[in-house]
Structure 1
Amino acid sequence: MTMDPITTVDTDTQRRLLALLERGQADQDTYARRLSPDERAARGELHNWSPKDEVAHNNFWRQDAINRLKAALDGSSPPDTSDDLAWNDRIFLEQRETPWEQLVGETERLRAETGALIQLFTRDDLSQKNRYPWQRGDSLETLVLVNWYDHPAEHWANVYLRCHEVEHALELRRAVAATIRELFPDEPKLYSYMILKLGAYAARGARAEQAIGAIREALTVNPSLYEQVRKDTDFDPVRALPEFQALFGAQGQS
């Protein structure tokens, strides 16, 4: 009989990361339940992915997280995946014929392996930045957060928007922001990034009031985001609104 990993870990950092694995898996499962058998089996194109291409893509970056965790444990360097666009194309071509069932089974395997690896690290191993040069300043905790939770959620939200299911996209991104606030209460900047992403999805989905509200909250929490908001084209749908311009009243014109 195996024990639930969350009941056997030693640190809050480990518990937090295992919770992110669980919620990332749940987001994919929720997405999968919305698909018909034909949609699950559909073949995509290089820059027009099908549902199973999205899963294959996310699995690659989950495996990348595993490779980096293993490298941290044994003192080696993981494969270089810095050219992410090239890797994305390569993985699409390699995995385009892989059946849906095999891909989702691989997600479960990757989750189990990632969870087991997380439990081998101390809190400092996971949370310290600049500890591993190939992480380019980020911590292993950030690696797991991005590759297992936030980045896949971006993909599912993008799919929902393409299918004109705006509320599902926003519901997911609200849940991500709430999760970050719950699990990382001492990192308000991290929360600000997630609430700003919610604003971007709301703007893209023509939910102007929700977009402005999220942008306002993000800027209140983290004023350093003003310049990003000025430049991010995701906010173009609401940029001309007086409510948006008012956000920059004390900062000059956008």
Structure 2
Amino acid sequence: MESSMTRAGLLARMAQQRADWESLLADIGPARMETPGVTDNWTFKDVVAHMTAWQQRGVARLQAARRGEAPSPAPWMHLPELNDDTINAWIYEQNRDRPLDAVLNDSRTVMAQLEAAVGELSDEELTEPARFPWLGDASLGEMLLGNSIDHFYDDHLPPLRAWLDQQ
């Protein structure tokens, strides 16, 4: 059992991610959060909304697993074409006109929900591959690492830091 996949390991990584996130928020500051060009034409607020939407999906999956159920379909399942680009465009459209404070509040709320959901699961529920048929051969911990924690560190933090360095 990989230590970062246990409940304690995941909670420690999530706490570190939250601290790194809050540090990034402080470094960017509210005045730059709605400046286009962070990622293509997206603002930092748009990136926050994007990450929050995917984390909300993770919360739904963790909570469903705790109940012993399959998760409800993601809110974008109605799209005619399901791929990362169309899903991310849909998330952008749903959030682009929302106030910055609301988007930031949702981000902090969903991070707390993720931590709470992980805290309610056992190591076995988090680490056992194929325990939940709707995850295929993956474990809940792998899903969480890939879709939330590693996604932030691998896909978002480096370009956000690079953008910030250019400001």
| TM-score bracket for the superposition, by shorter chain length | 0.7 to 0.9
Q: Describe the SS at the equivalent of 2:98.
A: coil
**Counterpart in 2 of 1:156?**
157
Letter matched to residue 146 of structure 1: G
Where does residue 129 of structure 1 map in the other structure? 129
Select the residue among 20, 26, 41 that pairs with 1:33: 26
Tell me whether 70-79 or 101-110 shows the greater mean CA deviation: 70-79
Q: Secondary structure at the match of 2:6?
A: helix
Cross-structure match for 2:17? 24
Aligned length: 154
What residue ranges of structure 1 are gaps of 5+ in the alignment? 1-11, 166-254
Q: How does 1:1-254 map to 2 (within 5 A)?
A: 13-42=6-35, 47-74=40-67, 75-80=69-74, 83-153=83-153, 154-162=155-163
- Residues 19 and 53 of structure 1: CA distance in aligned 2, closer, same or farther (over 3 Å): same
Residue 34 of structure 1: SS of its match in structure 2?
A: helix
Unaligned stretches of 5+ residues in structure 2 = none
Shift of 1:42: 3.1
CA RMSD across the alignment: 2.5
Distance (whole Å) between structure 2 residues aligned to residue 142 and residue 87 of structure 1: 21
CA drift at 1:55: 0.6
Give the residue type in structure 2 aligned to 1:37. P
Distance 1:90 1:44 in 2: 19
Q: Deviations over 1:178-234 (max 9, x none)?
A: xxxxxxxxxxxxxxxxxxxxxxxxxxxxxxxxxxxxxxxxxxxxxxxxxxxxxxxxx
Corresponding letter in the other structure for 1:77? P
Larger of the two Rg values belongs to structure? 1
Decide whether aligned partners of structure 1 residues 29 and 99 sit closer, same or farther in structure 2, where only a CA change above 3 A counts.
same
Higher relative contact order (CA 8 A, sep 6+): 2
Letter in 2 for 1:130: A
SS of aligned partner of 1:41: coil
Q: CA deviation at 1:104?
A: 1.9
Give per-residue Cα distances to partners, 1:121-180, cap 9 Å, x unaligned.
221110011222322322111122223321112212122234556xxxxxxxxxxxxxxx
Whether contact under 8 Å (1:58, 1:147) holds in the other structure is no
2-side partners of 1:79 and 1:142: how far apart?
A: 19
Q: 1:65 to 1:115 in 2, by over 3 A?
A: same
Amino acid at match of 1:76: A
Residue 99 of structure 1 and its aligned partner are, at CA, apart by 2.2
CA distance in 1, matches of 2:122, 2:7: 8
**Cα distance in structure 2, aligned partners of 1:111 and 1:37:** 19
What code does the residue aligned with 1:21 have? M
Alpha-carbon displacement from aligned partner over 1:72-93 (angstroms, at most 9, x marks no partner) = 1231233256633221110101
Distance 2:94 2:118 in 1: 28
The answer on whether the counterparts of 2:38 and 2:160 sit within 8 Å (CA) in structure 1 is: no
User: CA–CA distance in 2 between the matches of 1:120 and 1:135?
Assistant: 19
Q: State whether residues 66 and 113 of structure 1, in contact with CA within 8 Å, keep that contact through their aligned partners in structure 2.
A: yes
Amino acid at match of 1:32: L
